[in-house]
């Protein structure tokens, strides 16, 4: 049985793959590839099969022809990177393939954009749902996207804006390697949402640094009553940023049992996601007091409060608790997202000032903080309970979907 030759190329065709591979493609008896790849070899006398949406059928035909014919498959860039290569390996076996990649189209796109890609999330929406972008858009500092003629850069931009993830600039790389190669930079997703681009392109998204002046106030009608998507908040990117993830935030707010007019403490407020949601829930007659020791995150709290229209009902302090909380009004509910090693002291103060029927909720990420929280609650005299949250979000893998786990969180809560 003959080995199938798989050759990756760009839009400069034979000029980019070397004379030996051009010769071997010319000797093929069965030639498979996208129509634009086949058009590079008009002189070929091989039987030809154009790849469109017929991938499974094409691979089955390759398997049938390889027994008696010299088969060559033409692909874009690296055939093993979001390409036909993995399908061929799974169906034919590695022993029956000889693969010669060109630099990945994604790699070339990042080079054209002059952006490093070691910290990028790489996603395909080529014949796949736009929801493949949702998780990376919440966390990644850079995203490389394989598009198609339906999920165009403009469509992607509008999708991300709708998610509240509009803090990206973009580079669209069209017809890479071809004579009509084009690289266009867009300073915002709003600009990209109006762009007209060719069908053959790769989209690179680069998150902008949080810029208070560039972050507009949000339309209250576009903001959920509870469970605001992480991407609507300004917070440091990528994962070093401090934000209570939406799934954990919803459970924690439920444990806080907030009512209109309540007073809330947010200890270790990060960039203020819990403060914002709490302020919206307690209403104009309620009050939220937030404290955050990290200056970078504290600076974002005010911007998030302004964007969500709750600046007038939240008092934020840049200090390491328990310093700074002595001026807070007596709370109906206390949320602790971080304690800076002062958990017991802070909880003792919170309990001493807690109103009758008040609630204390602690998010514990580490084993040590969980042990500290449960140890305190056991002797607190509060009626308390624990919830362990193991949250996984969907993420793409080839043409399928896998789940990517977030850090487990313990939510420990008590009522006076």
pLDDT of res. 220: 78
Contact 9, 15 (CB under 8 A): no
CATH match of 106-208 with 3.30.950.10:
yes
Q: For the chain, what is the radius of gyration of the CA atoms?
A: 27
Q: In percent, how much of the chain has pLDDT > 90?
A: 63
Residue-level pLDDT at 231: 80
What are the CA-CA distances from residue 53 to residues 49, 57, 62, 146 (Å)?
A: 12, 9, 15, 16
Strand bridging mode 409-415 / 120-124:
unpaired
Determine the length of the chain. Answer: 416
What residues pair up with 404 in beta bridges, in sequence order? 393
For the chain, the domains span 4-103, 106-208, 213-415
> What Å distances lie between residue 336 and 244, 313, 341, 352, CA to CA?
11, 19, 12, 15
Structure tokens at 16: 């980019």
In the predicted model, what is the mean pLDDT of the chain? 90
Beta-strand relationship, 383-389 and 409-415: antiparallel
pLDDT digits 0-9 by tens, 132-146: 898 888 778 899 999
CATH of 4-103, one of 1.10.240.10, 2.30.110.10, 3.40.1010.10, 3.40.50.1820: 3.40.1010.10
E strand or H helix at 411: strand 409-415
For residues 228 and 51, give the distance between their C-alpha atoms in angstroms, rounded to a whole number: 42
Distance CA 6, CA 10 (A): 14
State the first-to-last Cα distance of the chain, in angstroms, to the nearest integer: 76
pTM of the prediction? 0.57
Q: Identify which has the larger pLDDT, 221 or 172.
A: 172
Question: pLDDT digits over 74-132, tens only?
Answer: 998 889 888 888 889 988 999 999 999 988 889 999 999 999 988 899 999 988 899 88
- What pLDDT, in 10s, does the model give residues 62-80? 998 998 999 999 998 889 8
Whether CATH 3.40.50.300 fits 213-415:
no
């Amino acid at each position: 049985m003959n080995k199938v030759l798989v050759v990756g190329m760009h839009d400069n065709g034979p000029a980019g793959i070397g004379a030996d591979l051009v010769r071997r493609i010319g000797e093929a008896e069965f030639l498979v590839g996208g129509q634009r790849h086949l058009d590079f070899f008009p002189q070929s006398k091989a039987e030809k099969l154009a790849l469109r949406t017929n991938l499974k059928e094409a691979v089955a035909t390759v398997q049938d022809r390889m027994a008696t014919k010299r088969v060559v498959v033409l692909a874009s860039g690296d055939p093993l990177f979001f390409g036909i290569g993995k399908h061929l390996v799974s169906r034919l076996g590695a022993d029956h393939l000889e693969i010669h990649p060109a630099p990945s189209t994604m790699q070339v796109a990042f080079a054209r954009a002059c952006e490093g890609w070691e910290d990028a999330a790489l996603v395909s929406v080529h014949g796949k749902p736009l929801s493949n972008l949702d998780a990376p858009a919440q966390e990644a500092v850079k995203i490389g996207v394989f598009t198609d003629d339906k999920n165009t850069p403009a469509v992607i931009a509008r999708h991300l804006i709708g998610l509240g993830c509009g803090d990206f600039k973009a580079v669209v790389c069209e017809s890479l390697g071809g004579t009509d190669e084009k690289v266009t930079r867009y300073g915002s997703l709003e600009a990209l949402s109006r762009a007209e681009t060719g069908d053959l392109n790769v989209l690179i998204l680069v998150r902008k640094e949080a810029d208070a002046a560039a972050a507009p106030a949000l339309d209250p009608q576009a903001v959920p009553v509870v469970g605001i998507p992480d991407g609507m908040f300004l917070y440091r990117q990528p994962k070093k940023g401090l934000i209570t993830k939406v799934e954990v935030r919803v459970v924690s707010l439920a444990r806080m049992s907030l009512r209109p007019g309540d007073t809330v403490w947010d200890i270790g407020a990060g960039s203020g996601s819990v403060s914002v949601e709490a302020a919206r829930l307690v209403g104009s007659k309620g009050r939220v007091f937030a404290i955050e020791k990290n200056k970078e995150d504290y600076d974002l709290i005010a911007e998030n409060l302004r964007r969500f229209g709750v600046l007038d009902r939240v008092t934020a302090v840049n200090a390491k608790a328990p310093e700074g909380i002595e001026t807070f009004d007596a709370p109906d509910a206390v949320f602790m997202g971080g304690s800076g090693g002062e958990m017991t002291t802070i909880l003792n103060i919170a309990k001493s000032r807690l109103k009758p029927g008040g609630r204390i909720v602690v998010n514990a990420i580490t084993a040590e903080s969980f042990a500290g929280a449960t140890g305190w609650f056991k002797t607190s005299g509060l009626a308390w309970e624990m919830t362990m949250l193991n949250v996984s979000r969907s993420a793409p893998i080839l043409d399928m979907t896998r789940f990517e786990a977030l850090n487990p969180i313990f939510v420990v809560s008590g009522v006076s």
